[in-house]
Amino acid sequence: METTFTRTDTKVIKGVAVLLMLMHHLFYFPDNRPYSMPEVRQTLPNFMGQGLETMLGIFGVICVPIFFFLAGYGLYLQTRRDGFQLEKRILAVYTQYWKIFFIFIPIGFLFFRHQSDYCKATAYCHVFEQRGMQELFSALFCLKTPYNYEWWFLRGYVVFLVLGYVYLRLTEKIRNFWVELVVVLAVNFYGGNLLQFLMNAGLLPQDGPFLGLAASHWNGALVLVGIVFAKYGVLDKWKARSVEKYTALTNLLFSLTIIVGCFFLRLGDMSMNYDAILTPLFVLAVVTLLHLAAPLYKAAAFVGRYSTSLWLIHTFYLYYYEPAAKLTHISGNLWVDYVILVVMTLVSAIAVEWFWKCVPVQKLSGLLMKEKAV
């Protein structure tokens, strides 16, 4: 096993994170379940007065800080390799978004424009009804998300990438891990309060991006934590230590302890305020654990390869396309429904990648230009 935190390790974490995202959206939002489907049966026992499936659904939202942490981690590595090219990274994110947008939004308009109120959250049933060009344009750049509410993440992702870029510029000459760690933890714990104070004092506008930053500043802090961990090779050092100094049993016990600890701490009052601490620990523990089970490691890496597409696609099947929503809730057994959702989404993600390889944008542009000339 390699002693550095590799690109494959990153794919593994992305795979685990996106699977947790699907679990979160399936297990934890009963109002989005179609009326005509069988009643949900919890197959796992209750724990502390709550079903374990529900608890897993709540915990699954840890996927959000994981992706922000990895965004910062990747931003630093790309900057070290290619220099400061923020626009290149943002364009790559939008390119992936548009590949999904130009397939699934037209499908929605063509086939799911007039749907019944098939679930309690009726807004999800009618996202493809008549909308103006302004909404379509804003959705194209994810300024608003009228066709898929769960796409809010992309807007925050881009904003916090810019924040990460600014941080990289400002701290380019700092070479002390503890100084930077204190700075990013201060942003995590006090950044929102500082922004709110400046807005209340009239020094910053009380709407627009600053309001969003104040409300979700801890996600921005996760990007900064990812940058710091990449800059000082924290994940590399831990992985080298676990490979060279600890036995498989020690790594197993460590990983399980950290994962179970993160599970219960995040379900408690600590919640998002401590994601800057819990998320890196969870990432380290998951990679360490899966390295002990090669088939699971390879499976997670495979899923991670399509993580962005899985994130962008899965809620169309889960919430927005009525026939698909009924299919992904068909059994009443959450684990069976979960497998159906994962398979449908993964197959679609692979098909989307294949489609865009077969019909490259450059060729389409060339054909359009030829038709214009004729």
Task: Give yes or no for a contact between 61 and 27, defined as CB atoms under 8 angstroms apart.
Answer: no
- Give the per-residue pLDDT at 271: 58
Q: Rounded to two decimals, what is the model's pTM?
A: 0.90
215-250 residue pLDDT tens? 677 788 899 999 999 999 999 998 888 877 888 898
Q: How far is CA 310 from CA 19, 112, 143, 270, in A?
A: 9, 20, 21, 29
235-256: string of b/e by CB count within 10 Å (b at 16+)?
A: bbebbeebeeeeeeeebeebbe
Question: What is the pLDDT averaged over residues 247-254?
Answer: 90
What percent of the chain has a predicted confidence (pLDDT) above 90?
Answer: 58
Region of poorest pLDDT, from 27-36, 155-164, 204-213: 204-213
pLDDT at 369: 47
Residue 302's pLDDT is 97
With tokens 């026992």, the residue in question is 45
- pLDDT computed for residue 372 by the predictor: 43
The predicted pLDDT at position 374 comes to 40
In the prediction, which pLDDT does 358 show? Answer: 86
Output the pLDDT for position 361.
Answer: 60
- Rounded to an integer, what distance in angstroms lies between the CA atom of residue 219 and that of residue 296? 28
H or E segment at 68?
helix 63-82
SS3 88: helix
What are the angstrom distances between the C-alpha of 121 and each of 144, 314, 325?
A: 19, 17, 13
Report pLDDT digits (tens) over 288-338: 999 999 999 999 999 999 999 999 999 999 999 999 999 999 998 999 999
pLDDT digits (tens, 9 = 90+) for 103-132: 999 999 999 999 999 999 999 999 998 778
pLDDT digits (tens, 9 = 90+) for 31-74: 899 998 888 887 888 777 778 898 999 999 999 999 999 999 99
**pLDDT at site 180:** 94
Contact 162, 89 (CB under 8 A): no
Average pLDDT, the chain: 87
